[in-house]
Amino acid sequence: MDINNGELPNLEFDTIQSKLAPLWRSIKALNDDEQTIVVVPSLTVDYPLEGALLQAYEERFLFLLFLLRQPRARLIYVTSQQIHPLIVDYYLHLLPGVIASHARKRLFLVTPLDGSPQPLTRKLLDRPRLLAHIRSLIVDLDRAHMVPFNTTELERDLAVTLRIPMYAADPKHFHFGTKTGGRRVFIEEVVSCPDGIENISSLETLIDAVIVLKTRQPTIDKILVKLNEGVSGDGNATVDLGHMVLTGSDVDREVVECQVRSMVFEAAGTSFDDYINRLQAHHGVVEEAITGRHFESPSVQMRITPLGDVEVLSTHDQILGGVGGQTYMGCRFPADDGYAALITAEARKIGDRLMDEGVLGRFAVDFVVVRNHDTPWKAYAIEINLRKGGTTHPFLTLQFLTDGTYDPECARFTEPGGKEKFFVATDAVKSESYRLFTPEDIFDIVARHRLHFDQSRQVGIVLHMISAVGELGRFGMTAVGDSPAHAQEIYDRAVTVFCSEAERCRELS
């Protein structure tokens, strides 16, 4: 098929996807057959990412370089801009039991040198010569697959153009990953979720939905509005109903509209008109805000393999921040064992449903859990993330570096020697003063203060999103320890060190 051909039928995609099952069997057999992994960390979101932030998010999945531990694996990693050579060296030297130079020969970095806010996949599809180059790096099309971040028709078209399967959900299943689609799955599979209304598409339907919820539950004082395709809480807003009492008269609509127009947006800089325009374009949901004396927001990570197996990979406690405490800031692994089994059991129902629908690849189910005093935890499912997310890279980093396994029955991760491992991770170690650092400075600080991940003890920090430090004053970090407190201690020490080193730099300037 000519790579300039824009007609990429679903039938051809299905045919190419059929290659995944035999390839998966071969990989599970742990043989040394040659294979090529094409990593395309393209982000298709409803708000623009560009420059250093776009590049940093595309580099967030450089942990996949750890796949080069397999001696005959070749890895093609595509980014919008070039990756700093020292960042590549950093990951290759983390590889346990592998000669870095040998791994480097099997790594191919490809870039269109285009920092515009267009999705990376779009940039590739617009450049047939670059696509031809990528295809030339694939030794055997029957022993290759593509790993995207999220999947749209663009990723499907790229897979067909390269003639290799994609280990991710077919874009025809996209609706399951929207707020509306997720709620419908929860309801149909009898998974507890907040009271709410789906498919809100305008200011008028939003006002109607708030009135309906307040009528059904007069004691509700806060309602959440969520855009269908919002990511990490940025598409959320809070409507404060206070002590509002509906009278059943026409005045109710005026009062509710006033409160809706005063809703607080989770994403800084969002205007009311912009938000309503996005709601009209993508639709959304309204939900009661779940509250309790004790409140946590855990998630369950799963995958559906090409062989049809539904696997629980991990659980995490999300660290939330932002204006309304709904923005994803990081995570702790594993989730608290007080409710890990509860949310895992609920997530399995959703995994089985998605498998029946033909969904493939990694996904996560987000929950909120609450309890009052000594009452049992109650879990509410709030979202299906039909893609990789903020918990994917720290967990797989831990798994690759330790060869450990997660037991979903007891919510424990152990390395082969039987020792448990825990981590605290974030994409947002940030300070304006960190802009004084270069990537070289970051690596020097880590080395001098012995913060780096120690293979012998399997504790320490692993960095990501390093290229954003000079322009944005931020980077990501995963701190691995032998207990939750130990992981937090390592994390806190690292932040303290970076702050003090930044202060020293300021004094020298």
**Mean of pLDDT values over 123-135:** 97
Specify which residues 327 forms β-bridges with.
Answer: 321
| Each residue's pLDDT tens digit, 311-364 | 999 999 999 887 777 788 899 999 999 999 999 999 999 999 999 999 999 999
In the prediction, which pLDDT does 1 show? 41
| Each residue's pLDDT tens digit, 195-253 | 999 999 999 999 999 999 999 999 999 999 999 988 777 889 999 998 888 888 878 89
Confidence band, pLDDT 50/70/90 cuts, at residue 47: low
**Mean of pLDDT values over 495-502:** 96
Is the pLDDT score of 121 beyond 90?
yes
Confidence band, pLDDT 50/70/90 cuts, at residue 4: very low
| Each residue's pLDDT tens digit, 269-285 | 899 999 999 999 999 99
| Each residue's pLDDT tens digit, 149-171 | 889 999 999 999 999 999 999 99
| Each residue's pLDDT tens digit, 418-467 | 999 999 999 999 999 999 999 999 999 999 999 999 999 999 999 999 99
Is the pLDDT score of 26 beyond 90?
no
Is the pLDDT score of 46 beyond 70?
no
Burial of 74 (C-beta count, 10 Å sphere; 0-12/13-18/19+): buried
In the prediction, which pLDDT does 30 show? 63
In the prediction, which pLDDT does 242 show? 84
Confidence band, pLDDT 50/70/90 cuts, at residue 31: low
Confidence band, pLDDT 50/70/90 cuts, at residue 9: low
Q: Which long-range contacts (CB under 8 A, 24 or more apart) does 18-21 make?
A: 18/165, 19/142, 19/145, 19/164, 19/165, 20/145, 20/165, 20/167, 20/306, 20/360, 21/306, 21/307
In this structure, the number of other CB atoms found within 10 A of the CB of residue 227 comes to 24
Query: Which tokens in the block code for residue 358?
Result: 């033909």
- Is the previous residue joined to 334 through a cis bond, with omega within 30 degrees of 0? yes
Are the C-beta atoms of 464 and 60 separated by less than 8 Å?
yes
**Domains (ranges, CATH) in the chain?**
10-167 (no CATH), 195-288 (no CATH), 292-419 (3.30.470.20), 421-509 (3.30.70.1130)
**Mean of pLDDT values over 62-81:** 94
Is the pLDDT score of 143 beyond 80?
yes
Tokens 């504790």 identify what position?
A: 459
Window from 21-25, 378-382, 418-422 with minimum mean pLDDT: 21-25
Is the pLDDT score of 48 beyond 70?
no
**Mean of pLDDT values over 182-200:** 97
Is the pLDDT score of 41 beyond 70?
yes
CA distance 219 to 229: 29
pLDDT, the chain, mean = 92
Is the pLDDT score of 45 beyond 80?
no
In the prediction, which pLDDT does 74 show? 96
In the prediction, which pLDDT does 163 show? 96
Is the pLDDT score of 110 beyond 50?
yes
